[in-house]
Chain A
Amino acid sequence: MPQLGFVLQWVVKAMAVILAITILNFFLIRLAPGDPAVVMAGEAGAADRHFLEQVRRDFGLDKPLVVQLGTYVKNVLTLDLGQSYRTGRPVTEMLFERLPATLLLTGTAYLFALIMGPLLGAVAAMRPRSLFDNILMVVALVFYATPIFWVGLLLILIFSVQLGWLPPFGMHNLIPVQGAVAYALDVLKHLILPAITLGLFYVAVYVRLTRASMLETASLDYVKTARAKGLPEWRVATAHILRTALIPIITFAGLQAGHLVGGAIVVETVFAWPGIGRLAFDALFQRDYNLLLGVFLISALMVVFFNMLTDLVLRIADPRIAGRS
């Protein structure tokens, strides 16, 4: 069964990545200057030598490096990512608490880009050199060049501060509204600006990619044949051009998906969105090692997962690809 081989292949890849990243992370962070015991002890405790030692013992910071690593690897494999130094709560718990928010944000941005991009690009490709095409290309070029966080700040300035249409921060009203439907609508309202901010860059990319891909495909022989046969333009576009043109787009989309998490950090910071990106950033400045490692691991897993998804979609779209690695 080729499907089994496919799944097995990806599972092996995932495990290899997890292991490699775990080891990499571990040593990287330990090389950093700074002592987490001092931070955890706080202003009062750090002034007491005995207290510092106690903290070190409680959190295993005094054991040799190799022992710490071995313990960590073993724990990761049993889904125990340790406790956050700062709060004492299990890292897995903190991550899964904040993960849905990030998934919601990146997922929405991703879909937004994946739908708007090819759509606009396809329309432009069907009317090359028209006014619409030219304007769209310029706009796409501009958004491709603008830093994501700046776009976010501008959107807040315009739509929140000046026009007052949308809330500027957070995932929901400061005091959460009651009722499932009302809550969902509230979240949706808060989701609009950050999702657009994160997605705009990729919309720009997909617009240009789709347009170029479709124009290239359109000039291929078999398409010309279809046209010559008298098929209506839109059928030519969808049945023939789009199908082939989508391949590089999907490939690219798969590669970009993983990097959305990185972009999410910046957007989550600007919009105070309660996701793992922001969690990672706070953890970074506190030298909360366990939490940091956890975020890094989850992000890498997301990348592997999206790559697998992309591979799957590609195989469905074009079975010939199944042969390639």
Chain B
Amino acid sequence: MPAIRTMGPIGRFLAVIFAIMLVSSGLVRAEPHRGGTLNSTLWPEPPGIVIGIHLNAPTLLPATKIFEGLLTYDFSLSPQPMLAESWEVSEDGLTYTFHLRRNVKWHDGEDFTADDVVYSLTEFIPAVHPRSRPTFERTVVTAPDDYTVVLTLKEPYGPLIRSFDAISAPIVPAHIYRGSDIRNNPANQAPIGTGPFKFSEWRSGEYIHLVRNEDYWLEGRPYLDEIYYRFIPDSASRALALETGQVQLATQNDIELVDIARLEALPNLEVTTKGWEWGAPISWLEMNIRREPFNDVRFRKAVMYALDREFIRDSIFFGLATIPTGPIHSSSPFYTDDVQTYEYNPEKAKALLDEMGLKPNADGVRTEIGLLGLPYGELWDRLSQYIRQALGEVGIQVTIETADVAGWGSRIANWDTDMSTTYLTTLSDPALGVARSYITENQQKGVLFTNTSGYSNPKVDSLFAEAAREPNEEKRREIYHEVQRIIADEVALAWLVELQWPTVYNSKLKNVVRNGLGPNDNFAEAYFEE
């Protein structure tokens, strides 16, 4: 240690003090307390608890404690080891090699091997997992030995490395599912996974109960003894449960946004909006570009200028949102804000409409259109009402159309709307969650969450395709920057807010939001402070 020898006596003294402080702080922060029962809210009661067969939000929260993927992702969506200890990607991006952990057992005692991975990626996912099927259809999966898995592709696919979390690619036991009718397999009622928690009981209408996996592959984990996911149907009841400490965790849409500020101020509760980087939800106002006047980009720009998105963020989402600039979420590594932005400016909106030839009539109305609002609850109703009011002020008369969830979905899928509001998770990679809304070839009539607006720009199509194929991450970034510039300039969609889904948790509960998967992390590291 040449540095210490060159230090004077005072320097060495300080170094020792510093070292002692370092060690003692480490001692104080020693091992997290082992034990404790975590009560979390979960609503609505999910239809199942096997990832892939069901992909609803309430399925994922408990299921991600039971099932794991090869990788996980931190806050900046960089891959981290999970069931795979290490991995390599070839220079040409055509070969991915994963080295699996060796001491992993399934909850029923069988060994976890590469065969399980091969089965999951080549049979399970294509059979049930609609979102990941197209991704893994590009790969050929082989297992040269029991603990190595190799994926080969015909052409490079950038998003692949971000598709190995438990939600996108859950690893399920081959010895249970192979050859069976997956959807009706009895194991679905009591799933077997590799995760830190085992399934214990599902009492319908009351709770799902998970217990510690004593043979979990990570020594000393998980810290918690058990987890209860309790079904409490009313948001006010859930808030009450948090306040009184009967429940220690609530997330996503469990708590009404209007209550968050109040809960955050309480001494026994904390609130965080991190942990949804993996999902990255954006809400937008979609205009049917196949219809007039939406096919004129000036009209779309006018709509953007007419909406006060800061008001939307503050008054409708109670500050729990950020303002998007384009199709890619601000938490994504591919994001750029160097695009055309649209501040709230009704005068500019009116000028654009005048320029288009849409002059106001005697009542001040320039045109009449319909708005099909997302029927997910009061917050979205208020959003529709605000949009109606804001557009009304620049002369666009909006009639709010109502529908139930199925009707709403059906009309949008069949291109039978003027404007509609919705939100979508843009996922961990633009090729997975963003491109689907903008590329021409993904216009599938009758299918929801495709390119339903009818936006079409061949340049954008080719850019998206190129970026997906490009193996170099830096180059991909540049391509996506250009895509964002074009799409923002053309206002393909009127992006409203990036949703934040606050996670409210008891102050004594630690490590529930520690990576990009947030509450969908497997909770191996979660614990209660003494």
Contact = CB atoms under 8 A, between A and B. Distances in A.
Contacts of A274: 205, 233
Given A43-B449, A49-B444, A170 B405 contact: no
Nearest to B54: A42
A86 interface: yes
Interface residues of A, number: 39
Contacts of B204: 89, 97
A82 interface: no
A35 B232 contact: no
A287 B241 contact: no
B448 A272 contact: no
Given A44-B55, A46-B413, A97-B204, A35 B406 contact: yes
B496 to A, nearest CB: 18
Interface string A25-67: 0000000111110110111111111011000000000000000
B322 to A, nearest CB: 21
B283 interface: no
Interface in B361-416: 375, 403-411, 413
A205 to B, nearest CB: 29
B131 interface: yes
B220 interface: no
A98 B405 CA distance: 24
Interface in B257-295: none
A44 B409 CA distance: 13
A88 interface: yes
Of the candidates A34, A43, A98, the one having the most CB atoms from chain B within 10 angstroms of its own CB is A43
A284 interface: yes
Contact of B450 (A47, A86, A98): A47
A285 interface: yes
Contacts of B48: 88
A248 B126 CA distance: 67
Given A39-B406, A97-B205, A47 B45 contact: no
A87 B45 contact: yes
Given A44-B55, A44-B131, A97-B205, A38 B448 contact: yes
Interface string B230-263: 1011101100110010110000000000000000
Contacts of A32: 407
Contacts of B444: 49
A49 B410 CA distance: 13
A32 B407 CA distance: 9
A286 interface: yes
A174 B234 contact: no
A149 B98 CA distance: 59
Nearest to B406: A34
Nearest to B48: A88
A36 B424 CA distance: 20
A89 B48 CA distance: 10
B376 to A, nearest CB: 9
Interface string A82-121: 0000111100000001100000000000000000000000
The 8 closest A-B pairs by CB, nearest first: A34-B406, A272-B234, A34-B407, A46-B448, A48-B130, A287-B406, A47-B449, A44-B55
20 contacts: A34-B405, A34-B409, A43-B55, A43-B424, A44-B130, A44-B131, A46-B447, A47-B436, A47-B447, A47-B450, A49-B444, A87-B45, A88-B47, A174-B247, A175-B230, A175-B246, A176-B206, A282-B44, A287-B406, A287-B407
Given A89-B204, A272-B234, 4 more contacts: A38-B448, A39-B406, A46-B447, A47-B130
Interface of A: 32-36, 38-39, 41-49, 51-52, 86-89, 97-98, 168-170, 173-176, 272, 274, 278, 282, 284-287
